[in-house]
Amino acid sequence: MASPVTNRGARSGAASSARERVRRRRLVLGLAGGVLLLAIAFVASLALGAHPLSVSQSLGALVHYNPHDTNDLIVVDKRLPRTLIGVGAGLALGLAGAIMQGLTRNPLGDPGILGVNMGASLAVVVGITVFGVGGVAGSLWFAFAGAAAASVLVYSVASLGREGATPVKLALAGAAITAALSSIVTALLLADTQVFDQLRFWQVGALAGRGWDVLWQVLPTLVLGAVIALALGRALNGFALGDDVARALGQRVGASRLVCAVAVVLLCGSATAAAGPIAFVGLAVPHIARRVVGGDYRWVLAYSALIAPVLLLACDIIGRLIAFPGEVQVGVVTAFVGAPIFIGLVRRRKAVSL
């Protein structure tokens, strides 16, 4: 006959298992809801703009494309690649932000704040102004190199001193280096008016004017970076417990950090080469995801990969509508949306605790 203690333990275990099943079901339903929101944002991005179309016209252009129909040309040749690039760039920035926040244990971690996007931007501008690189194919490799160099520089500067690379020092080093790199970019662009005219919309972060050629060139590296990122949930959960605990659990900390860095470089380089340095998406989205799922990075990464494209497409749509018949570039809109979130995080004591 089972003892009362054994019975209580069995009931407790069964209750815990039931709660976990309910939680998992809720999270899966949340992912389904995220897919639905992304689908709605995708269709809205195809339909809305200087030449508004109905949902049936937009979807009809995808199913029955007629190259002689003006509406079909607008949807398939202009808005569809722009929308797909928005989805890809948003996914890349959301995943990169989640990885950086988990890797550095810094809630202010973001490809824009920590200088990664600006490093990629500077490398692209140098490639165009100094080496005469043209097209996304050449710029992509400069973006990778710049993102990697900026990451190493920020981490090296933050590591100086007795405490090492604390979250506060990483944020401060990233902000300082971002400001310095931004000044260099501005100087290079002002020195060459032709290049400035070519890059002025890209520099603020834009999806306008991006065609199929841009999408196909960044797609392989973006997909590779996303696949690597989505497999890093367990490693990031280990980092959240501290390096010593992660090692005790059998995690190869050095190798995991390297893989995380490769994923961030691939994602940020692809997004920056395609759409320019778009700020605050990588900062805000992981925090939204953690409010929904908690601290498990396996779910944080999955939710970030859905929420970020929805946010970026929504900002792009807002930019098209608020200045009709012109438009405000998406990087400006995301800055307005993300700045209050950043201020709120800075004001929270927990966000900057060592």
Q: What is the 3-state secondary structure (H, E, C) of the chain?
A: CCCHHHHHHHHHHHHHHHHHHHHHHHHHHHHHHHHHHHHHHHHHHHHCCCCCCCHHHHHHHHHCCCCCCHHHHHHHHHHHHHHHHHHHHHHHHHHHHHHHHHHHCCCCCCCCCCCHHHHHHHHHHHHHHCCCCCHHHHHHHHHHHHHHHHHHHHHHHHHCCCCCCCHHHHHHHHHHHHHHHHHHHHHHHHHCHHHHHHHHHHHCCCCCCCCHHHHHHHHHHHHHHHHHHHCCHHHHHHHHCCHHHHHHCCCCHHHHHHHHHHHHHHHHHHHHHHHCCCCCHHHHHHHHHHHHHCCCHHHHHHHHHHHHHHHHHHHHHHHHHHCCCCCCCHHHHHHHHHHHHHHHHHHCHHHHCC
pLDDT at residue 15, as a whole number: 67
Residue 344 in this model has a pLDDT that exceeds 60: yes
Cβ atoms within 10 A of the Cβ of 247, count? 13
The Cα 32–Cα 295 span in angstroms is 20
Q: What is the mean pLDDT of residues 344-351?
A: 59
| Through-space distance between the first and last CA atoms of the chain, rounded to whole angstroms | 53
Residue 303 in this model has a pLDDT that exceeds 60: yes
Residue 91 confidence class, pLDDT cut points 50, 70, 90: very high
| Residue 94 near residue 309, CB atoms below 8 Å | yes
Residue 348 confidence class, pLDDT cut points 50, 70, 90: low
What superfamily in CATH does domain 34-352 come from?
ABC transporter involved in vitamin B12 uptake, BtuC (1.10.3470.10)
Cβ atoms within 10 A of the Cβ of 199, count? 20
Q: What is the mean pLDDT of residues 207-229?
A: 91
What pLDDT, in 10s, does the model give residues 123-166?
Answer: 988 888 888 777 667 788 888 889 889 988 988 888 887 776 67
pLDDT at residue 309, as a whole number: 97
Tokens 């995991």, residue located? 256
Q: Chain-wide mean pLDDT for the chain?
A: 85
pLDDT at residue 233, as a whole number: 93
| Residue 124 near residue 351, CB atoms below 8 Å | no
The Cα 51–Cα 204 span in angstroms is 24
| Residue 158 near residue 150, CB atoms below 8 Å | no
Tokens 């995708």, residue located? 42
| Residue 48 near residue 42, CB atoms below 8 Å | no
What pLDDT, in 10s, does the model give residues 2-43?
Answer: 555 555 555 566 667 778 888 889 999 999 999 999 999 999
pLDDT at residue 85, as a whole number: 95
Residue 99 in this model has a pLDDT that exceeds 70: yes
Residue 354 confidence class, pLDDT cut points 50, 70, 90: very low
The Cα 106–Cα 165 span in angstroms is 10
The Cα 263–Cα 286 span in angstroms is 16
